[in-house]
Amino acid sequence: MKNRRDFLRSAFGLSAGLAAAPRLLAAPTQTNGENMEMAHTRHASPQSRGVVSVETPDVPQLSCRIVDGVKEFHLIAELVKQELIPGKVANLWGYNGSAPGPTIQVIEGDRVRIIVDNHLPEPTSMHWHGFEIPVEVDGAPGSSQDPIPPGGRFVYEFALHQSGTFFYHSHMAMQEMMGMIGAFIMHPKENYSPHVDRDFAIILQEFAILPNNPIPNSMNMEFNWLTLNGKSGPATTPLIVRLNDRVRLRFINLGMDHHPIHLHGHTFVVTGTEAGRQPQSTWGPGNTVLVGVAQSRDVEFVANNPGDWMIHCHLPHHMMNQMSSVVGPMTRRGGGMPAGLGMEEGMGILRKGHATSEDKGPSLGRGMGVGSTRDETTGNGPQETQQAGRSISNMPGMEHGAMPDMQDKAMQMTAPEVTKNARSVPGFPQDAFMEGPAMAMDKMVEKPENYGLRPGWSGFMQGMMTFLRVLTPEMYDKVMALREQQKNKPEPMPEMEHHQE
Ligand SMILES: [Cu+2]
């Protein structure tokens, strides 16, 4: 028992929490949810500190109107052009111009009205996942209500008596795979104990988007774009916290895969599921939490280890962008590869030739979709280093000068370091042309939250990867000042100098 108590003490930084109390009262102003009409301050008192608004980096908050004591929200189901990383715009379906849809935050006991307008070309229906509400407003199409026709509207209204990390989503299965989900945070009437300083929600999604095609193939089961709040690394916006803040992360998963989410450098406890707060007796230590489909998981920890720590799904293919048998012009050139072949080839059954022949190897086991025949580039076959260098140097926007000590060595800047006999090593290449200095795009994803990251960092961030940046007070203030600066400027930020702290 002693060990457990000691663990809890360090996990929740009890003494640090007390010392940090004075500034907590001001903390909510740092969130991106200021426009909410939530009375954050109404709980504020020396005994019970204010509700900490949940931040959803890269996803807007949905504000409400109070109409006769009811919190009224308005959601519009519609086509969304979502930029997953710079230059990769996907045609997703979402709400109010965002996929995932905007975050709703309410307080336990609230009565809410949500007006849902359908601007899609087909019927939809909205489900309130895990809500204990009357069946008439549950949103199951056909059984609890008629689907909302294109151009139609349905008004959902209910009182909420639960608290926790909930979400809303279209209850049309294929629409779910187009992005139609959003976070629905129900804050408890009485704050959870222990109090957290920072609270973040991250929605996990996946899409099957073939190269050179902006529309997800919701019937494909080969997911090659993995997103956190609608962005893939390195376009994900890091979570910024101050050293010794107590932090809650809420992960929400709606897709075809379960994601083991791993946090570097810290030990957390799982404090909540999609059904709300879990009893403290269940809080065992961990650093990886499996977030299953249709589940949410809350984890809490004290950010007591300074540094830029990765948060990522630990499935290797979920730490990649554009994973496919064709990785496109980015890394490969050649005579082309077969795609969209028949079932036999798709399942890896060979009829003619050998498995690694230039024509066949790349697409084994990979159905590339009906209708396509031959893509313009080759897949993960062997490749000359020089050829790779040429391909990479042709990539627009990539930051070939990311590593300052390589400035004058043009070829080395573009090609990763590989041995002379690399091609003779079975299995090569693996990461050589997938990540590394040549893939860096620090400038393209520049934003206040990335200030001061190690130069070239972006070459190693893909898919479901982001940072938890545990910053010293000085660095924290600097990042927040830059964020404030940017808020007042609609234009992209002027160049910031990157330097190592
Ligand atoms: Cu994953």
Burial of 303 (0-12, 13-18, 19+ CB in 10 A): buried
The rounded Å distance from CA 413 to ligand 1 centre is: 31
- What pLDDT, on a 0 to 100 scale, did the predictor assign at position 86? 93
The rounded Å distance from CA 206 to ligand 1 centre is: 8
C-beta of residue 72 within 8 angstroms of C-beta of residue 113: yes
- What pLDDT, on a 0 to 100 scale, did the predictor assign at position 484? 93
- What pLDDT, on a 0 to 100 scale, did the predictor assign at position 361? 44
The rounded Å distance from CA 226 to ligand 1 centre is: 7
C-alpha span between 334 and 327 (Å, rounded): 12
The rounded Å distance from CA 398 to ligand 1 centre is: 26
C-alpha span between 467 and 319 (Å, rounded): 13
Range with the poorest average pLDDT among 225-239, 284-298, 434-448: 434-448
pLDDT, one tens digit per residue, over 62-75 is 999 999 999 999 99
The rounded Å distance from CA 227 to ligand 1 centre is: 9
265: left (phi over 0), alpha (psi -120 to 50) or beta: left
The rounded Å distance from CA 292 to ligand 1 centre is: 10
C-beta of residue 455 within 8 angstroms of C-beta of residue 424: no
Taking the whole predicted model, whether its pTM rises above 0.85 is answered as no
Q: Residue 274 above 70 pLDDT?
A: yes
> Would you place residue 367 in the very low, low, confident or very high pLDDT band (cuts 50, 70, 90)?
very low
- Among 44, 107, 102, smallest CA distance to 74 is for 102
C-beta of residue 392 within 8 angstroms of C-beta of residue 415: yes
pLDDT, one tens digit per residue, over 384-395 is 556 656 655 665
- What pLDDT, on a 0 to 100 scale, did the predictor assign at position 153? 98
The rounded Å distance from CA 260 to ligand 1 centre is: 6
C-beta of residue 477 within 8 angstroms of C-beta of residue 442: no
Q: Residue 233 above 60 pLDDT?
A: yes
Q: Residue 162 above 60 pLDDT?
A: yes
C-alpha span between 433 and 328 (Å, rounded): 12
- Structure letter (DSSP) for residue 154: E
- What pLDDT, on a 0 to 100 scale, did the predictor assign at position 421? 82
The rounded Å distance from CA 463 to ligand 1 centre is: 9
Q: Residue 399 above 60 pLDDT?
A: no
Phi and psi at 410, nearest 5°, equal -50, -45
Q: Residue 42 above 60 pLDDT?
A: no
| Position with higher pLDDT, 424 vs 151 | 151
pLDDT, one tens digit per residue, over 105-144 is 999 999 999 999 999 999 999 999 999 999 999 999 999 9
Q: Residue 169 above 60 pLDDT?
A: yes
> Would you place residue 409 in the very low, low, confident or very high pLDDT band (cuts 50, 70, 90)?
very low
| Position with higher pLDDT, 378 vs 218 | 218
Share the mean pLDDT of the chain: 79
Helix (H) or strand (E) holding 113: strand 111-118
The rounded Å distance from CA 110 to ligand 1 centre is: 34
- Among 71, 91, 70, smallest CA distance to 80 is for 91
- What pLDDT, on a 0 to 100 scale, did the predictor assign at position 246? 97
Tokens of 316: 């290797």
Tokens of 407: 């400035």
491 Cβ contact list (under 8 Å, min separation 6):
none
- What pLDDT, on a 0 to 100 scale, did the predictor assign at position 49? 60
C-alpha span between 243 and 302 (Å, rounded): 8
- What pLDDT, on a 0 to 100 scale, did the predictor assign at position 396? 55
Cα-Cα end-to-end distance for the chain: 41
> Would you place residue 308 in the very low, low, confident or very high pLDDT band (cuts 50, 70, 90)?
very high
- Among 253, 232, 246, smallest CA distance to 466 is for 232
The rounded Å distance from CA 50 to ligand 1 centre is: 34
CA dihedral 379, 380, 382, 387 (to 10 degrees): 60
